[in-house]
Structure 1
Amino acid sequence: MVPVTAITKAIINFRDIQDKLGLQRTDNPEFFPEWRDFLPPPTDQEVLALNRLAQRYLAYLEEGEVSEGTLNIILFSPLLDALGLCDPPYRIRGETWVEVQTQVDDEAGRMTLEGRIDALTVQDDFWLVVIEGKRGGFSVLRAVPQAIAYMAASPYPDRPVFGLVTNGYDYLFLKLERGEFALSQSFTLLSDADSNLLRVAQVLKHLVSVSLETSGNGRAR
């Protein structure tokens, strides 16, 4: 019987991704151009909503550390709603349990890893974006290995899978395809006009659009 281990315990760093899942990080800029190329401009309605969400988050942050649960309520769920990703043809799956089997033997042998995706944007059964949220003050880089492991559980391993890790203040996009993965630059809430929450929303909408084109499941908005 193959032992079952939590992803949060088995995948701690980037070395674990390579040794246990057989996935390689690439620095090739042509591998993940989607986070920076051909981004759709936000609508006036989206600009108003996103600015309000950013100010709300900062107000909560001034009062102290923002927990993961609070982050989902005050920022993340409203962000997805503002972008139309909670309505048909899209669906949001919260706390989705997934399993992925290790591809590389170690001293413990092969294992089945399981974990919970914080939020998963889908159309039909096709994964569009995997989302991992952490409490305020948590480094988004520390969340990347676990997010990559969740992405590796996609039922369509031959198609690209995109991810987003965030602590509400910092945002980092991920791409996994055919055994390789890459990271975007980090976006920060109070940074310049090219890296704030509006830009995060543009990238997120574009990744959904690219995923739909790849899956052939219809047209993005």
Structure 2
Amino acid sequence: MVQVIQAHNVSHADLEARFGLQQTESEDFFTEWFDTLPEITDLEKQDLDKIKLHFLRLVKRPPLSEETVKLVLLSPLLNLAGFYDEPFYMRGEESIEISAEDEGEIIRGRIDVLVIQEQFWLLVIESKRSSFSLLEAVPQALVYMLANPSQDKPTFGLVTNGSDFIFLKLAKENQPKYAMSDQFTLLKRESELYQVLSVLKNLSQSLS
């Protein structure tokens, strides 16, 4: 009988054992999160400051659900980054299944937000409630990225709990490998939400 495993129960060790997924520390592998990023305009900064203000006001009345994180934070960020425009389109709550060869197991889950361009999964976004650790969400996002049918193009991911953000890149050529960005936070006095939008704009501009 085939065993079904929920994506949120998968660990880094599971992904290494089942799919041979390896993390790379090479800076050349994932330059999209730090190299030649586009500038953020003053108007965009005003919008980001308002997003931060809304989030911090809501987080005073916990718990902050995943749906609220998507509504207050992710939706306006993706809009500012251009992911609501052509050639992209978006899907929410997308079901996926992925299985390792000869394992007799299927990993099943639902992607929170999926941004697609011509069947190429550009951005897989996993949002969590505000109290959730991002490191716990990374393996789940990687499961969804591994489910991307494209073999010759990388997939980019973003995990966020509302206050913190980590970008991911996964390539499946030969042996699958991935890398993570630094962790950004909007809780600093100098909010790093500007950098988050800059990375998102870089992805939308370079991949459109």
| TM-score (structure 2 length as normaliser) | 0.91
% of aligned pairs identical?
44
Letter in 1 for 2:116: V
Letter in 1 for 2:183: S
Question: In structure 1, what is the equivalent of residue 90 of structure 2?
Answer: 92
Question: In structure 2, what is the equivalent of residue 4 of structure 1?
Answer: 4
Question: In structure 1, what is the equivalent of residue 17 of structure 2?
Answer: 19
Which of residues 195, 199, 202 is equivalent to 2:198?
202
Is 1:59 aligned to residue 60 of structure 2?
Answer: no
Question: How far off its partner does 1:75 sit?
Answer: 1.4
What 5-or-longer segments of structure 2 have no aligned partner? Answer: none
C-alpha distance in structure 1 between counterparts of 2:81 and 2:29, whole Å: 26
Secondary structure in structure 2 of the residue aligned to 1:56: helix
Question: In structure 2, what is the equivalent of residue 216 of structure 1?
Answer: none
Question: How far off its partner does 1:42 sit?
Answer: 1.5
Letter in 2 for 1:58: L
Question: How far off its partner does 1:21 sit?
Answer: 2.0
- Aligned pairs, number: 205
Is 1:140 aligned to residue 120 of structure 2?
Answer: no
C-alpha distance in structure 2 between counterparts of 1:110 and 1:30, whole Å: 36
| TM-score (structure 1 length as normaliser) | 0.86
Q: 8 Å contact 2:80–2:197 — kept in the other structure?
A: no
Stretches of 4+ moved more than 4 A in 1? none
Question: How far off its partner does 1:96 sit?
Answer: 0.8
Question: How far off its partner does 1:110 sit?
Answer: 2.8
Question: How far off its partner does 1:157 sit?
Answer: 2.1
Question: How far off its partner does 1:88 sit?
Answer: 2.2
Question: In structure 2, what is the equivalent of residue 117 of structure 1?
Answer: 111
Question: In structure 2, what is the equivalent of residue 167 of structure 1?
Answer: 161
What 5-or-longer segments of structure 1 have no aligned partner? Answer: 213-219
Question: How far off its partner does 1:6 sit?
Answer: 2.0
C-alpha distance in structure 2 between counterparts of 1:44 and 1:88, whole Å: 24
